Chain A
Amino acid sequence: MNNYFKKIRRVDQITFFVILSILIILLRSFNLQFTESEKYSSLIKNYEIKEHTISTSRGSIVDRNNIVLAESIPMKTLIISNKEKFLQDHLALKKLCKIINIDFEYLLKIVKNKENKRFIRIRELRLLSSDNINKISRLNIKGIYFTKEFKRYYPEGETFASLIGMTNIDHIGHMGLESSYDSSLAGVNGKKKVMIDRQGTIVKEIKELKKPKEGSKLVLTVDARLQYVAYRELKKQVRKVDAKSGSVIILDSTNGDILASASYPSYDPNDNSTYTVEAERNRGIIDSLEPASTIKPFVLTAALYSEKVNLSDRFNTNPGYKKMGRKTYRDVSNFGELTSEGVIIKSSNLGSIMILEKINKKLFYDLLEHVGFGEKINLNFPSEVEGSLPHHSDWKKTDVRSLAQGYHCRVSPLQLAKAYSAIANNGLVINPRLIKKNKIDIFEDKKYEKEFNIVKNVIKKVIDEGSAQRAAIHGYTAGGKTGTAELYIGGKNKNKYSSEKHTGLFAGIAPLKNPKLVIVVVINQPSDEKFGGVVAAPVFKKIATDSLRILNISPDNIDAYEKKVLKKVKKQNSYTYKNPEVNNVF
């Protein structure tokens, strides 16, 4: 009996609690639904479900040492959401015009003209500085709000402008690397459905509609320090010789990395007013030119490879000019009888023609093709030039003579640097690269190894005793070749080349014992002097001197004078070691 009651009691107890719980829930529901409904319905109005954009920023561009070359920073842009309210307070608007430095009537005209637009965005009110935002906020202008937009900054300014390019106001790359790598730099904005409270804070993420993708960082092979040195010296020289323009390419011959690609004139990408179409050109990559005498080391290489010419063979260039066919070919002066080595050292056009005429033209064509003439490097740079190298089967006798002097073919300064890096590497051709993550592209063919090794010593003599003595680098071995190209003016005119307009070139390697840098300097249309040995070679010297010091490459040619000085200093026992890194900066 007792057990029965106990059972009844337990069941009753449970039933009681269940019923009680249900009653409590029902009562609370009733209370929420009817008594406090207004309070809670007003609370729910505080929350809103919205589509929220997850904004991503454009990736930065950095040099090989992680120095920032381009970076995006968020700024505020003023949007007019209610035109009528905005136009009410003229006094505040006049103050606004004063802050952003525009005419009041102009502002009114623009706003009134945009009749059909719900949200008005004005160019002058975009990407405002925080100072201006504070000032504008204090004006309490009605019918406006601020939205986030990004502004691109280029800390290196004009030094890198022709290489990196810039973005437009909508943050889309439209020049240089900003344009060609726009899709990877830009990133993709995401979208999600969210619940936000009255303060605009997201309290709940409901659904991701589109996954965001951050803009990726672009790491270049360029060294900002070398780029600056190249640009500084180029600018100085172009102004000094009153030239039209110029370009410099610095290539790391060991791996094909482009360490600098400077162009002048240039512009400041942070200031649109300095932009001109001429200043936009990266002349080292998109301009092609006839290499002139810088081709002569390749003439000698092909001749040595053919085994029909050796270094001691003699060529009579007397009296400094010679009529071949209908045309008379000339040297700068009468060099008399020259060895094939002397032809390169003195840069004799007649000698070069005689050498090339002795060998099979296919051999020369194969060599030029091997070192990259007429072949696009494929840097993924806008308007990169391919150059031109007509097929040897199309070469007439006059074409061969033109080729021997570096005409009838066209290369970009970068292609010329690539060809000279083949000399530096004893025939190993490495394709230049501009983006660090791209793999090093080496064409392993030691076909011309012996010949390039000989030619390397010949171009050393060009600097030591030949036409490029102004390119000699103090303390280092170097080799190179000058070039002076008459400017092609084209047209139906028989004289297709200008005798007044020239391009001065120099292509060099430093240090020559253990090659590291290949530098090509091009000075277009100098006014005072025309020869590459005068206008371009000194630029090579200055750039190479500073670059070798910056890269910490030890001197490999301490000459007798220095040895004498050191000996003297040591003798006097007053020698104190000075770190060249610190003392030789400027």
Chain B
Amino acid sequence: MSNLKIYMIGILILANISLSFGVVYLEHLTRNKYRELQSLSNEKYNLNIEWKKASLEKGKHDSLSEIEKIAQSHLKMIAPKKREFININE
């Protein structure tokens, strides 16, 4: 067996071992990152739900029916009579 071959085998074995360690390490790293991704996805999902709830609440508060109800009950506003309207044509 030539020296070159021996060197090559040695290098390959070393590479093999280091790759094995690499694979194990990367697997560990992947799991950690995946865990992180999962928690971020959950956070995104929860925020999305919060946003949906908020938009529902907003929809309720800025609907004409709600505005009208508050205007009439809290602010005591009334609809002006026909004679009180002034239309302006610009």
Contact = CB atoms under 8 A, between A and B. Distances in A.
Interface string B47-75: 00100110110111011110110011000
B34 A554 contact: no
Contact of A203 (B13, B34, B59): B34
B85 A475 contact: yes
Contact of B13 (A21, A68, A583): A21
A42 interface: no
B56 A155 contact: yes
B25 to A, nearest CB: 15
A569 B60 CA distance: 40
B52 A586 contact: no
B59 A204 contact: no
What is the interface of chain A mostly: helix, strand, loop, or mixed?
mixed
B10 A18 contact: yes
A578 interface: yes
A462 B83 CA distance: 23
A224 interface: yes
Contacts of A153: 56
A565 B83 CA distance: 10
Contacts of B71: 585-586
Contacts of A555: 87-89
Contact of A204 (B30, B79, B86): B30
B77 A586 contact: yes
Contact of B63 (A15, A73, A155): A155
A67 interface: yes
A475 B13 CA distance: 93
B6 A558 contact: no
Contacts of A156: 59, 63, 65
Given A21-B14, A71-B52, A153-B56, A228 B90 contact: no
B81 to A, nearest CB: 11
Contacts of A583: 80
A586 B68 contact: yes
Contacts of B3: 7, 10-11
Contacts of A203: 31, 34-35
Contact of B85 (A69, A474, A586): A474
A441 interface: no
A224 B17 CA distance: 68
A554 B90 contact: yes
B63 to A, nearest CB: 6
Contacts of B65: 156, 159, 228, 232
Interface in A41-95: 60, 67-69, 71-74
Interface string A558-573: 1000100110010000
A38 interface: no
Contacts of A25: 17
Contacts of A74: 49
Contact of B72 (A224, A474, A586): A586
Given A11-B3, A202-B38, A68 B55 contact: yes
A485 interface: no
Which 4 A-B pairs have CB atoms at the shortest separation, nearest pair first? A475-B87, A14-B10, A555-B87, A155-B59
24 contacts: A7-B3, A11-B3, A14-B10, A17-B14, A18-B9, A18-B13, A18-B14, A21-B13, A25-B17, A60-B52, A71-B55, A155-B60, A156-B65, A201-B39, A202-B34, A203-B31, A228-B63, A474-B82, A474-B85, A554-B90, A566-B86, A577-B88, A586-B68, A586-B80
Given A228-B65, A232-B65, A585-B77, 14 more contacts: A11-B3, A25-B17, A68-B59, A155-B56, A155-B63, A159-B65, A202-B34, A204-B30, A474-B82, A555-B88, A562-B86, A565-B86, A583-B80, A586-B78
